[in-house]
């Protein structure tokens, strides 16, 4: 079965929101608050350029200057992003000041993380990231309770926002902590699997929160937070079994300003593809909410079980009790969602809206993943003297790109909608997760510095 989504379906949804007095879908014209936001960001960038100029090359200075108008534009598109950047930035500055030994923000002692109360329990990078993990798990629980209680859904949304703030603060403070460890250790915190797990969780959550507000629905939160909770569990396992939260110097291949562009763009793609997959899962649950035939649900359960098995396969070369337990609980959750598909499906947005969110997420992700692939080729030429070497990571990045290019081609030119598109989005995240982790686990190549 395929749902034919007319071009006016989403427009009717947004018109209904606007008619109810909710302007969440209307950006409006820039006002004085946008100008003030620009002044604050420009002042911060100017301070960084003056105080830390010696630590940055020309490319990094250009990136810093370009970030200011980019954030102002994004803040205009979505106002909560302004609050996040200012709020998280101020709290991160407080943490940096707490690290200070009396000589201002430029000096500090990393050992204060164990002696200053706020740093030890709240604002050091590890503390903030652990709070992020706890809040995401609590948010997941509250979103699912939200199918029976609107209040719980509101709490789930608030907990998710709190987790995003905690994770953002954690990454910003971690950046500073690296420099406190030594002048050759500090780097932007997107250089290893621990840091990009945090980044991926934040990006996925932020895009979900955007669509939650735009479409005025919290019913999707439980679905999207499931994949974020998986990232959190993997992050905690990776941190405590491999001591991965320790800040290490960059390997030579990563000492490049290209990393500051390539990695964030890449993980915006990963995050939106993950979001689209979970929306596709929700679509299939709603579509089958009235069916009584488990035979029709069998393909969805099997695909869900395969997705649940992936962390177990990537988590260790030898299957551990931890991941066997994770696999069992996850399969039970998938089965429970399908068993209660009726009441869950009635709470979800319409099939047309779900299809529209899935399309928008994949379109955004594909655009950023394309940019990331191009940037990666330029980085490879700068580091290794050639744009493309058919390294396993490069090959699987191409497979991911071709998969979503085909999805968009079939939608835009052939009218692909509904069931097939949703199943394809779920299969797509299988391919994407192998490109992200499976290559590091089972294959070797020029990107072997990212091995688990």
* Per-residue tokens: 86: 């200012």
Residues near 404 by beta carbon (within 8 Å), at least 6 away in sequence: 273, 362, 365, 366, 369, 428
Residue 309 pLDDT? 81
For residue 314, how many other CB atoms are within 10 A of its CB? 19
**CA distances to 38, 73, 89, 100, 106 from 44, in Å:** 10, 17, 10, 19, 14
Quote the CA–CA distance of 376 and 311 in Å, as a whole number.
Answer: 26
Tens digit of each residue's pLDDT (9 = 90 or more) over 5-34: 444 555 555 555 444 334 454 566 888 889
How buried is 268 (Cβ within 10 angstroms: 0-12 exposed, 13-18 middle, 19+ buried)?
buried
* Per-residue tokens: 450: 């990212």
CA nearest 83: which of 165, 170, 167, 166? 165
Give the max Cα distance, the chain. Answer: 70
Phi-psi region at 364: left, alpha or beta (left = phi > 0; alpha = psi -120 to 50) = alpha
CA nearest 28: which of 79, 82, 101, 103? 79
Query: What is the H or E stretch that residue 242 is in?
Result: helix 221-242
Using CA atoms of 378, 380, 384, 390 in order, give the dihedral in degrees to the nearest 10.
Answer: -130
Residue 71 pLDDT? 94
Q: Where are the domains of the chain?
A: 32-77, 89-250, 264-452
pLDDT tens, per residue, the chain with 452 residues: 444 444 455 555 555 544 433 445 456 688 888 999 999 999 999 988 988 787 787 888 898 999 999 999 999 999 999 999 999 999 999 999 999 876 566 677 888 888 899 999 999 999 999 999 999 999 999 999 999 999 999 999 999 999 999 999 999 999 999 888 887 788 889 888 899 999 999 999 999 999 999 999 999 999 999 999 999 998 998 888 888 888 888 887 778 888 889 999 999 999 999 999 999 999 999 999 888 877 788 888 888 888 888 776 665 555 577 778 888 999 999 999 999 999 999 999 999 999 999 999 999 999 999 999 999 999 888 877 888 888 888 899 999 999 999 999 999 988 888 899 999 999 999 999 988 887 777 666 555 555 55
Q: Count CA atoms closer than 13 A to 425's CA, side-chain side.
A: 35
């Amino acid at each position: 079965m395929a749902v034919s989504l007319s071009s006016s379906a989403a427009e009717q949804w947004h018109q209904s929101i606007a008619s109810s007095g909710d302007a969440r879908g209307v950006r409006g014209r820039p006002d004085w608050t946008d100008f003030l936001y620009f002044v604050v960001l420009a002042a911060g960038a100017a301070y960084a350029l003056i105080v830390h100029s010696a630590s940055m090359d020309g490319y990094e200075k250009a990136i810093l200057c370009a970030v200011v108008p980019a954030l102002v534009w994004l803040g205009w598109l979505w106002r909560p992003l302004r609050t996040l950047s200012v709020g998280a930035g101020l709290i991160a500055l407080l943490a940096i000041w707490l690290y200070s030994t009396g000589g201002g923000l430029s000096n500090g002692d990393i050992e204060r993380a164990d002696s200053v109360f706020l740093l030890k329990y709240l604002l050091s990078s590890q503390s903030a990231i652990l709070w992020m993990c706890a809040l995401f798990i609590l948010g997941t629980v509250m979103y699912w309770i939200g199918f029976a209680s609107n209040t719980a859904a509101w709490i789930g949304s608030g907990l998710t926002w709190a987790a995003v703030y905690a994770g953002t603060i954690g990454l910003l403070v971690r950046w500073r902590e690296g420099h406190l460890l030594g002048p050759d250790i500090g780097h932007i915190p997107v250089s290893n699997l621990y840091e990009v797990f945090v980044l991926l969780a934040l990006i996925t959550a932020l895009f979900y929160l955007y669509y939650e507000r735009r479409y005025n629905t919290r019913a999707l939160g439980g679905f999207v937070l499931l994949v974020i909770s998986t990232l959190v569990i993997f992050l905690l396992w990776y941190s405590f079994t491999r001591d991965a939260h320790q800040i290490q110097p960059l390997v030579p291949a990563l000492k490049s300003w290209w990393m500051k562009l390539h990695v964030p763009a890449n993980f915006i793609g990963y995050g939106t593809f993950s979001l689209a997959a979970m929306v596709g899962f929700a679509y299939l649950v709603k579509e089958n909410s009235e069916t009584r035939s488990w035979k029709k649900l069998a393909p969805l359960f099997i695909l869900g079980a395969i997705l649940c098995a992936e962390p177990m396969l990537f988590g260790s070369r030898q299957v551990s009790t931890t991941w066997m337990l994770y696999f069992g609980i996850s399969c039970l959750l998938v089965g429970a969602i399908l068993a209660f598909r009726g009441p869950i499906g009635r709470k979800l947005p319409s099939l047309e809206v779900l299809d529209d969110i899935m399309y928008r997420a994949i379109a955004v992700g594909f655009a950023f993943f394309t940019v990331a692939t191009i940037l990666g080729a330029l980085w490879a030429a700068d580091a290794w003297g050639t744009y493309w070497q058919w390294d396993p990571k490069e090959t699987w990045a191409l497979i991911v790109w071709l998969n979503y290019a085909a999805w968009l081609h079939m939608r835009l030119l052939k009218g692909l909608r509904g069931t097939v598109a949703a199943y394809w989005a779920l299969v797509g995240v299988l391919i994407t997760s192998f490109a992200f982790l499976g290559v590091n686990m089972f294959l070797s190549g020029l990107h072997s510095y990212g091995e688990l």
